[in-house]
Amino acid sequence: MSDSSRGIVAIVGQGYVGLPLAMAAASSGWKILGIDHSKQRIVSLNSGKSHIEDVKDNQLQEAIKSGRYIASGDFKQISTADICILCVPTPVDSAGKPDTSYLERAVISVAPHLKRGALIINESTSYPGTVRELIIPLVEKHRGEGIKSLLFSSSPERVDPGNTLWSLKSTPRLVSGIDEESKASVVNFYRSFCEEVILVSSPEVAEMAKLLENTFRQVNIALVNQLLPLSQKLGIDLREVIEAAGSKPYGYMKFFPGAGVGGHCIPVDPLYLLWKARDLGVDLPFVANADQVNSAMPKYVVQRLIDLAKPESGSLIAVLGVSYKPGVSDTRESPAEDVMKELKSMGFKPLWSDPLVKSFHDFEQYNSQRVSGAILVTNQAGLPISNLIDSGVKILDCTGTLKGISLVEQL
């Protein structure tokens, strides 16, 4: 890469967060070094092929052609970067505890190559204190020169794949740093391509705000999910209730029930908050209960399908839409996985269908087999819903999008 008038930015992780960020920064004049561990992904990106719905191939190709983007697996190249941004996964483990191993490996990999004066930004969602308690000590340990010349900041990602209303540029950006120089530098960077940059007092505030955003959603989704059995017994359409309440122009926000919660934020971020709270001896019962309610939805959904279709043991059941939201192929934390596991544990043979998804764990794909029932988890365009209805298959609709259709029951 040649020198840039704005500078060079190394973005570690070229997934749903890192690649859109790379394109946005490149479009404003930064030269981007997209670092990723996947050799296959690097080859694909450098050939101009995007694996992210929000980044079109022609956008990537233009960035490459202009000399403002290149993908690499060589961490040594970070020594040329003025800014290094961490955009790696931060999942939870099987016990629901934060798994920061990807972030730790990324920090250890970049630390020896950071040049003097470089700005390090963490966009990876994590618990309050991640920059000070995890990132800075790791950099100090694995960088020979120490950290006195480096700048550290936080700007938690707010990516919503497939959202056509709010983009990376138009979504307000929260930022902060460990000192005044770090704050000024991170503000200047994001202002170069974001319409609104909000400086908060500390990295901990920014980190906590990200967790609160999605914990708010988790708790409110759990509230409406918890009302489902009551509404069913009362003979009330809960979605109609929610829409009716939503007519109030203040003090209320609509959330809808479903088969569970999915994606990279809602099922995960509240657990980071819970872990940090428990580590400090603080109880968060609303957050813990919300996670339990939403985690129980797949079992409730399967029982509703059994009550509706009355399939025999061993029957094939179709699960329709296995990405976590319509319009994307992202299956991270999709509730469809737990729905299928629940079906299997109850003696049925689950099959999946989703036009945007190439494979889904080890489950068998639906290919016009004769099924005894179906569950619509995510309403993707191109699902075989009409064919199933024409074949007399009863469908439990967890999305509220098939209302008024024969053989379809709303969750």
Dihedral over Cα of 243, 247, 248, 254: its sign: positive
Q: Which of 87, 194, 265, 398 is catalytic?
A: 265
Cβ atoms 315, 373 nearer than 8 A: yes
**Coil, strand or helix at 402:** coil
Find the angle CA(185)-CA(190)-CA(193) to the nearest 5 degrees: 140
Cβ atoms 269, 210 nearer than 8 A: yes
Mean pLDDT split into 10-residue runs, the chain, 411 residues: 71 96 96 97 97 94 96 96 97 90 97 96 96 97 89 95 88 98 98 97 98 96 96 95 96 95 89 95 96 96 97 97 93 94 97 96 95 97 95 96 93 92
Question: CB atoms < 10 A from the CB of 28, how many?
Answer: 14
- 265 assigned to active site: yes
Architecture of the domain made up of 8-201: 3-Layer(aba) Sandwich (3.40)
pLDDT at 164: 84
DSSP string, 329-345: ---TT-HHHHHHHHHHH
Dihedral over Cα of 91, 94, 96, 99: its sign: negative
**Rounded Cα–Cα distance for residues 391 and 375 (Å):** 15
**Rounded Cα–Cα distance for residues 303 and 176 (Å):** 47
The residues pairing with 410 across neighbouring beta strands, listed in sequence order, are 397
Q: Domain locations in the chain?
A: 8-201, 211-294, 296-410
pLDDT at 182: 98
* CA nearest to 91, candidates 264, 283, 237: 264
Q: Do domains 8-201 and 211-294 have the same CATH topology?
A: no
Q: Tokens in use for 246?
A: 């939503």
Architecture of the domain made up of 296-410: 3-Layer(aba) Sandwich (3.40)
Cβ atoms 245, 254 nearer than 8 A: yes
Cβ atoms 392, 378 nearer than 8 A: no
Crossing angle (nearest 10°) for helices 269-279 and 285-295: 140
Decide which of 1.10.1040.10, 1.10.3720.10, 3.40.190.80, 1.10.260.40 is the CATH code for 211-294: 1.10.1040.10
**Rg of the chain over all Cα atoms, to the nearest angstrom:** 23
Which strand (E) or helix (H) includes residue 225?
helix 203-226
pLDDT at 344: 97
* CA nearest to 18, candidates 47, 43, 50, 40: 50
